[in-house]
Amino acid sequence: MDRRAELTLRGFVLGAAITLVFTAANVYLGLKVGLTFASSIPAAVISMAALRALRNATIYENNIVQTIASAAGTLSAIIFVLPGLVMIGWWSGFPFAQSFAICAIGGTLGVMYSVPLRRALVTGSNLPYPEGVAAAEVLKVGTGAGSAGERNRAGLSALLLGTLTSGIFAAVVATRIFAAELAGYFRVGSGSTGVAFSLSLALVGAGQLIGITVGMAIFAGLAVAWGVATPVLSAMHPLVGSPADVATAVWSHQVRFIGAGTIGVAALWSLGRLARPVALGVTSALAASRRRKDPAARLPRTERDLPIAVVGLVSLGCLAPLAFLFWQFLAGGQLGAAAGALTVAGVAYVVVAGFFVAAACGYMAGLIGSSNSPVSGLAILSVIGAALIVLAVGRGLAHAAALPMIAYALVVTAVLLAVATISNDNLQDLKTGQLVDATPWRQQIALVAGVAVGSVVIPPILDLLNRAYGFAGAVTHGTVAQPLPAPQATLISALAKGVIGGQLDWHLIGIGAIVGALAVFVDETLRARKRSALPPLAVGLGIYLPPSTTAPVVLGAILGWAYNRWAAGERARQLGILVASGLIVGESLFGVLLAGIIVFSGRPEPLGLAGNAFAPLATALGALAFALTLAGLFRWLSPFSGESEAGRGTIPD
């Protein structure tokens, strides 16, 4: 019997503690910019630093810690949907029991659905799994001795440097001594457009992690949105107001739906390409499960998943609380008469669509990484499907009970998105486990533990941020004047309203679909000629997200590309990744801390030291400090750039 230290109590406790940090950071970042980051690598570095003092710590135990932390952090993507219930006025906050159940049930189903796919999509495939491979390399380096120990200390230093730098910069921005954003809007003939750039080190870090290919695709979407769509649409229907007011109004109410159409088509194309490999993967997984039952064909430790019977029982066990959640949401309200039918329809939709979403997300995570996987596009398709099902089952109630129908469609979509996000992360973690010789069933238990911890942490963080900031377009607002944009939740709730209310502007979505089809054509042409790529989902995000968000992400992608070309050796590249991860963590954690200060003080700008008259100087100081800070980070990394090592290129661009 294998008694090595792997799934331990201290590992679970440490993973839960790290979860608090990265889940809070991911929730804030997702609500601010519509993006989340994979936390496997920074979680692995922190785990190794914490466990290194214990003589019997192992690489397997460190792997379990990062598995718990990354699963919980990934579940934060539930914020792409859940805030929509506050935006439409159905919730005033985030009731813990219901929010916990949505996260826990959907996340557990995501783990169970991905277990049968491990052999086909991890062990028996040549998918690159960029983040899983990177995390494995970090674990291997960090658990070594001698010079490897020095590498681990350097990695922790890089993570802390990025964290402190972005946290301090964000704190100065909160004092208003540095401006938060650079922006300029202007007339183009009879239309209007503009440019904006958020002085956010977290966004630059996110850009480095997504890579140059995705970054350039986002830039293409940015050019379509603000170089073509906004000036043309604002000229077609001239509005009264300043160029800034006109351009932002046109982009918000029209151009973003073009982006939604682009994302939808790109997601459908991605799913279509996955049909054959997913079918083969499921067939292979079922064959492996039958082989496990044969006493003469004992599987080695590294091939032992949770038994398929356990997977089936846990999946079935999730259906009863899921049905109760849906029924309780519907009973006693305007949809009470149709509660039974809507509950059955909702559960069936989650069970059937959830499996395909799990398979698709797992495959796409292996292909392009968890951070780049198009969960947003799947959420768009999911909410449209959920809204159409609710409309079909509850026909005749759309006028009298539109709001509860919209709310129910969002709840069903939230559960389905929890399935998608966890599946998106699971196979990446299992790839890391395969590379470090971990035991699959133990890691799968750790994944469920990560879901449980994340489900406990996310609701109170969401409630805190809602009370402090509020969400753009919500019926009620927080203390500050500038609410969190929550871009994905805004779009998801708007689509649910449009489908159920019959007011969705399909014309604009159709234009977006054409743009998406063109992006797919260009991407396929480039791939066929082996000349890079243009991921169509990233193009859609560039159209949909605000320019203040996408511009620094594009800059980060360019800087990351330049650094990777300049840096020699795997160590230098890993340190660059850790600095970028730290930039995201520091600013995001400060945002959560600031939310607590705002709620406690009751003031929208509790740290503000400068007034409006200081704004021009704050803009100049902020821009200069931003540039000097990035230059300083590159200067810190420069001593490592000349260290040539074998294995260069393990960390993909």
CA distance 131 to 228: 35
Report which DSSP code applies to 225: I
Query: The tokens of 62 are what?
Result: 């460190």
pLDDT at 1: 46
Pairing, β 181-188 against β 191-198: antiparallel
Place of tokens 């509020």: 470
C-alpha angle with apex 367: 363 to 373, nearest 5 degrees? 75
Residue ranges of domains in the chain: 9-223+251-289+308-640
Looking up tokens 């704190």 gives 171
pLDDT in the model for residue 595:
67
Could you tell me if 110 and 422 are in contact, meaning their C-beta atoms sit under 8 angstroms apart?
Answer: yes
pTM here is 0.74
Q: Report the candidate in 593, 576, 568 with the shortest Cα–Cα distance to residue 162.
A: 576
pLDDT on residue 400: 65
Q: How many Å apart are CA 538 and CA 220, to the nearest integer?
A: 9
Length of the chain: 653
**Closest Cα to residue 115, out of 289, 271, 261?**
289
Query: Cβ(209)–Cβ(38) under 8 Å?
Result: yes
Blockwise average pLDDT, block size 10, the chain, 653 residues: 71 84 77 68 74 75 84 79 89 91 92 80 69 72 54 76 91 92 90 92 84 89 94 86 89 86 82 67 61 59 78 91 92 81 93 81 67 67 88 72 89 91 81 85 88 90 86 68 77 86 82 94 88 83 84 92 81 82 78 72 79 91 95 85 44 30
Distance CA 185, CA 226 (A): 10
User: Rounded to whole angstroms, how far apart are CA atoms 178 and 17?
Assistant: 32
For residue 566, the Cα-to-chain-centroid distance in whole angstroms is: 29
Q: What is the pLDDT of residue 171?
A: 93
What is the predicted pLDDT for the residue at 623? 95
Instruction: Mark out the alpha helices in 337-471 (DSSP H runs).
Output: 339-368, 375-393, 402-435, 440-468
- Rounded distance between C-alpha atoms, residue 152 and residue 607, angstroms: 36
Q: State residue 220's pLDDT score.
A: 94
Do residues 419 and 502 touch, judged by C-beta distance below 8 A?
A: no
